[in-house]
Structure 1
Amino acid sequence: MNWFVIIGIVLLIILLLTKGIPVNFVKGSGQVVMKVTVGILFLFFFNLFGASFGLYIPINVFSAMIVGLLGIPGIACLTAIHILVI
């Protein structure tokens, strides 16, 4: 099993060295990382100000992706889930 992983990684490195890194992949992954980072910042400030109201949304990758992709409606959805379910 370990040999298949090593051979796969070597083949991937050879492919990237010959073809280069696709620009669309780098651009798309950069945008996703930026949105998740903004989501983490939104959650941090929400938790900072929501503590006085007893609201807390855990900061993890799943919640950061939801808030990063949806924005303020994402925070509202996570808050509603926290109030209604938990």
Structure 2
Amino acid sequence: MGGADIGIVMAYSAGIMLIFMISWIFLKPLKFLGRLILNSILGALFLIIFNYFGQYTGVYIGVNEITALLIGILGIPGFIAILLIKLLI
């Protein structure tokens, strides 16, 4: 009777580990996608606020494919990089 109980416990343990491994495989890309969306929203918000106040100072960052991609991937550091490039050029 002791051998059957260990087999059942091992089967349940293997099933639980399989569930955790499958959920990790599927949740990893979702975390990356969520981070990308959060960076995009924060970067776009900073760009909108900066362009609103930039009209008074004369510094304006245009929105095109390159700036949207850079800000979307990097977020606030991408915005700072674009701002530094704009100020240096």
Q: Same fold (TM over 0.5)?
A: yes
Q: % of aligned pairs identical? A: 33
Query: Which of 49, 70, 74 in structure 1 is aligned with 2:53?
Result: 49
| Aligned-residue offset at 1:66 | 4.0
Q: 5+ residue gaps in structure 1?
A: 1-18
Structure 2 residue runs of 5 or longer lacking an equivalent are: 1-21
TM-score, with normalisation over the residues of structure 1?
0.57
Cα RMSD over matched residues? Answer: 2.8
CA distance in 1, matches of 2:81, 2:31: 28
Higher relative contact order (CA 8 A, sep 6+): 2
Who wins on radius of gyration, i.e. which is larger?
2
Total equivalences in the alignment: 66
Give the TM-score of the pair, scaled to structure 2: 0.55
1:78 Cα deviation from its structure 2 partner: 1.7
